[in-house]
Homo-oligomer: A and B are copies of this chain.
Amino acid sequence: MIDAQIVKEALKKNKVRTEVFKDIEYLRFTDDYKDIPRGTAIFKDFVVWGYPHIGRIFQLTTGLPEQFNAPVWVEEKVDGYNTRIFSYKGEIYTLTRGGYICPFTTDRVREFISEKFFEENPHLVLCAEVAGPENPYVEEFPPYIQEDIAFFVFDIMKKGEQGFLPYREKLRIIDKYGLPHVEMFGRFELTQIEEIKRLLKKLNQEKREGVVFKEDAERDKRVKYITSYANINDIKVTSLNMLGLPADYYTNRLLRLALFIEEEQVEKNESLYKEIGEAFLEGIFKACQMVRSEGKVYRTFRCRFNKKENALLFLEQMKHASAHIQIAERSLEKKGRYYLLEFDKVFLNMTGLLGHLLKGGSVID
């Protein structure tokens, strides 16, 4: 558990907030505080620790020997959103990275995760990526998911404890309960850098996001590495809302791309440069076009719910999530076995500034 004194301090400093989901009240760490990561959630009887930050390396040849002292397990990093799944009084709930109980993920989780797992392991927490074209949070998704969403377990924690179950134990449990999981590429010696590079080249060609390395040792150190495909795609997908993201989102990705190319000695060919310029500008053009034709810049999301109640709860929660994004419901209708929710995220910064500039407004910068 977490020392009550630290929680009191954190409350005073506004690092902890009380949240309510249906009849559950819990505390949520809105920021890292001392050794407690953002997203840590405190329930009446237990704590679900926040998912820790994972360091990123920009080059493999130097990065792997620098970061690790033992062989590493290599797993796919799936492009979706992080969730922690746990049971409470016989129900299954899911937390977002930030520590909110998510009405969408919670609504859908039983379709993907065996209930038997939680019946037999009420003390465990599954860490998973949720990804797919019909998720309500991120625009990107892996190419192999055709519709809706999918769950990919990648770690297992114990309630009330930081850190994860050992890798082989995780494999055993995933296997035993048939849990959906991220693709696992096996265990690599640190001398096998060429094999790892080949793997990443393949993932890049397949338009996948990257990998997480997990050291096969007591300290269970982790480091991630992202493909150049994913770095360019991040720019491409988000440039519609360029002013809504921290500006260093882009300089970070440019740096990653440059260091990837620098390591690989990829021919510095025109096609990659072109892709980068295009990724930035096409989104802004699209945004201008939206302002001219509809007066706002937005992106439409769709997602499927089992219960209408959860869709409404989800919308309510989203409406309070960001001061820079306005949520506009398009429709909520029963289609087949699901309630299909369609809503727009209206990007207010982009809408405001482009509207001003296209009308001939000036800015001081």
Contacts and interface: CB of A to CB of B under 8 A. Distances in A.
Contacts of A66: 359-361
A322 to B, nearest CB: 18
A268 interface: yes
Contact of A288 (B252, B259, B278): B259
Secondary structure call for the A interface: helix
A258 interface: yes
A354 B248 CA distance: 16
A281 B254 contact: yes
A66 B362 CA distance: 9
Contacts of A255: 242-243, 284, 353, 357
A275 B278 CA distance: 10
A262 to B, nearest CB: 5
B359 A62 contact: yes
Given A250-B250, A254-B242, A364 B53 contact: yes
18 contacts: A53-B364, A55-B363, A55-B364, A56-B363, A59-B357, A62-B359, A64-B360, A247-B248, A247-B251, A250-B250, A252-B365, A254-B280, A254-B284, A258-B281, A259-B284, A259-B288, A273-B275, A274-B274
Q: 6 smallest A-B Cβ distances: which pairs? A: A66-B360, A273-B277, A55-B362, A62-B360, A247-B247, A276-B277
